[in-house]
Chains A and B, each alone.
Chain A
Amino acid sequence: MSAYGEFTTVMSEERYLVEGLTAMGYRVEVHADGAALVGYHGDERPETAHVIIRRAQLDSASNDIGFVRGKDGRYQAILSEYDRSIGYGNQWLGKVHQHYKESQTLAVAKSKGYIFRGKEVIQTANGPQIRLQFVAR
């Protein structure tokens, strides 16, 4: 081994966020200027987001889940307390980041000419890890 690095994933590219959420089975809406989130009563909420999972795909009492792009270019999730309590909390957000990073890694590797050698999902006590291997030309 000639180098080793550890990184905290920063979600800053819409494309990979959309791909990641789609890989998780959601149909997402993308709004360049943001759109209002809808609450569980069908009421329009004051919060807006650029990437939205509509509540119909979630629990019957859920609100929309949104991802808003901040001034720093990073996407932040907008999640209600209720939705956090029913399984859309930090663990779910971790999964979103995991899928985002997988999409980003595969796309970067392809664009830079690295050769994809395989994907492995490793089950650990803390949850599944994704292992991707590439070869440089």
Chain B
Amino acid sequence: MQQKTITVVIDQNGDSSMDLEGFAGEGCDKVLKDFQGDDHAKVQRKKAAFYSPAVDSRNQHLKSGQ
């Protein structure tokens, strides 16, 4: 299962950007909200992985016979 990473970059003006990797579905929105706090959103977009179904690693192991 892909690791879920959050990268926050804060620029010299204090504005921030956030990259989420390995998340799928509504989990993204929760993480964005957690870190956003009272900040104003300027840009927010979902990437292709957002629309992919979450992968259950236990299922994968069963299917591959491990």
Q: Residues of A at under 8 Å CB distance from B?
A: 1-10, 12-13, 73, 91, 94-102, 104-105, 108-109, 112, 114, 117, 122, 124, 126-136
Knowing A109-B35, A133-B5, the reply to whether A97 touches B24 (Cβ < 8 A) is: no
A8, B41: Cα distance in complex, Å: 6
Which chain A residue has the least Cβ–Cβ distance from B48? A2
When the two chains form their complex, are residues B13 and A10 in contact, meaning their CB atoms are under 8 A apart? no
When the two chains form their complex, are residues A128 and B36 in contact, meaning their CB atoms are under 8 A apart? no
A122, B7: Cα distance in complex, Å: 13
A73, B37: Cα distance in complex, Å: 13
B14, B17, B34, B46: the one within 8 Å of A6 (CB): B17
1/0 per residue, CB under 8 A from A, across B8-50: the answer is 1111111111111111100111011011111111111111111
When the two chains form their complex, are residues B46 and A130 in contact, meaning their CB atoms are under 8 A apart? no
Residues of B within 8 A of A96 (CB): 14
Q: Is B64 an interface residue (CB 8 A)?
A: no
Number of A-B contacts (CB under 8 A): 155
Q: Which of A6, A13, A105, A112 has the most CB of B within 10 A?
A: A6
Knowing A4-B43, A4-B47, the reply to whether A101 touches B6 (Cβ < 8 A) is: no
Q: Is B57 an interface residue (CB 8 A)?
A: no
A102, B12: Cα distance in complex, Å: 12
B15, B27, B37: the one within 8 Å of A104 (CB): B37
Residues of A within 8 A of B6 (CB): 109, 114, 133-136
A46 CB, min distance to chain B CBs, angstroms: 28
A63, B11: Cα distance in complex, Å: 28
